[in-house]
């Protein structure tokens, strides 16, 4: 199966965030505002604490996989010299439409993380939020990231976390307990979490903190920080059935749990 073609098929159908703004068309101001609100308040309220968007003024930034432009907006509103690549052509037009509502004309284009169409050592920051775990060859992607960064440039990368409640219990353990392994692999089951209505099966990888640290070190980065975030009631096993019970648990409990067993592992690294 062609992982890249499946990724394009997946996010061509509907962009990231569409489930929180189904009543609006992607590209509209209404879609962008509602999906951004959900992302900032429910999905990734911790993001600004780990990625200093407010200090990006004048920095040349490359985002790998900009989706509908949620984080592109954060960089641009804070004065970054922003460029973005995405493998899905529809995301280029969507992001341009979204950011035009705020009078931005972003440098966004179709591109492949494994072969970046930029010269060596031109960016101060490379950023990728929830994208590179879909890349078939992570080694190429990290090598390319290192190549386009200036010396001492920073790399912010957010990936799915192998040792999360969601993966270990809701995906892996439930797959075996319910006998799903008799019909398909865990990898196939995992590919279906990216629901966009396309019926595609994009590649979905997961990484432990140790695995991510080793990857960064191997490809020329020193790790400055490593964090884990994002655990909610809907990440727990059988959430569709036990949701009312899970919702009784205070949000602060989920927040604390997310710092150890959350669905995202987030690293900040510096090019050596």
Cβ–Cβ < 8 Å for 48, 153: no
State the pLDDT at residue 171.
94
Higher pLDDT, 181 or 10: 10
Q: What is the mean pLDDT of the chain?
A: 95
Question: Per CATH, is 3-163+199-231+262-271 categorized as 3.40.50.2300?
Answer: no
Nearest in space to 264 (alpha carbons), one of 219, 228, 211: 228
State the pLDDT at residue 1.
59
Per-residue model confidence as pLDDT tens digits over 34-51: 999 999 999 999 999 999
Per-residue model confidence as pLDDT tens digits over 115-140: 999 999 999 999 999 999 999 999 99
- CA-to-CA distance for 200 and 185, rounded, in angstroms? 16
State the pLDDT at residue 196.
72
Could you state, in order of their start, the residue ranges of all structural domains in the chain?
3-163+199-231+262-271
Nearest in space to 112 (alpha carbons), one of 139, 72, 85: 85
State the pLDDT at residue 200.
81
Per-residue model confidence as pLDDT tens digits over 76-114: 999 999 999 999 999 999 999 999 999 999 999 999 999
- CA-to-CA distance for 226 and 230, rounded, in angstroms? 14
Q: What is the mean pLDDT of residues 239-268?
A: 96
Tally Cβ neighbours within 10 Å of residue 91. 26
């Amino acid at each position: 199966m062609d992982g890249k073609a499946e990724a394009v098929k997946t996010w061509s159908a509907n962009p990231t965030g569409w489930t929180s703004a189904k009543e609006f068309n992607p590209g509209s101001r209404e879609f962008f505002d509602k999906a951004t609100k959900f992302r900032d308040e429910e999905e990734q309220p911790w993001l600004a604490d780990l990625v200093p968007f407010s200090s990006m003024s004048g920095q040349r930034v490359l985002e790998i996989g900009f989706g509908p432009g949620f984080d592109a907006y954060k960089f641009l509103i804070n004065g970054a010299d922003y460029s973005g690549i995405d493998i899905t052509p529809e995301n280029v037009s969507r992001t341009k439409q979204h950011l035009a509502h705020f009078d931005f004309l972003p440098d966004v284009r179709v591109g492949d993380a494994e072969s970046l169409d930029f010269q060596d050592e031109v960016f101060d920051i490379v950023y990728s939020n929830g994208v590179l775990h879909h890349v078939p060859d992570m080694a190429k992607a990290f090598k390319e990231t290192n190549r386009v960064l200036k010396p001492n440039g920073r790399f912010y990368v957010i990936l799915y976390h192998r040792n999360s409640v969601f993966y270990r219990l809701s995906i892996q353990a439930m797959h075996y307990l319910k006998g799903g392994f008799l019909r398909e692999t865990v990898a196939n089951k995992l590919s279906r979490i990216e629901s966009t209505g396309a019926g595609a099966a994009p590649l979905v990888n997961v990484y432990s903190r140790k695995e991510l640290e080793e990857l960064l070190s191997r490809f020329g980065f020193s790790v400055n920080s490593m964090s884990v975030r994002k655990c909610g009631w809907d990440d727990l096993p059988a959430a569709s059935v036990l949701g009312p019970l899970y919702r009784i648990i205070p949000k602060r409990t989920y927040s604390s749990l997310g710092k150890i067993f959350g669905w995202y592992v987030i690293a900040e690294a510096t090019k050596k």
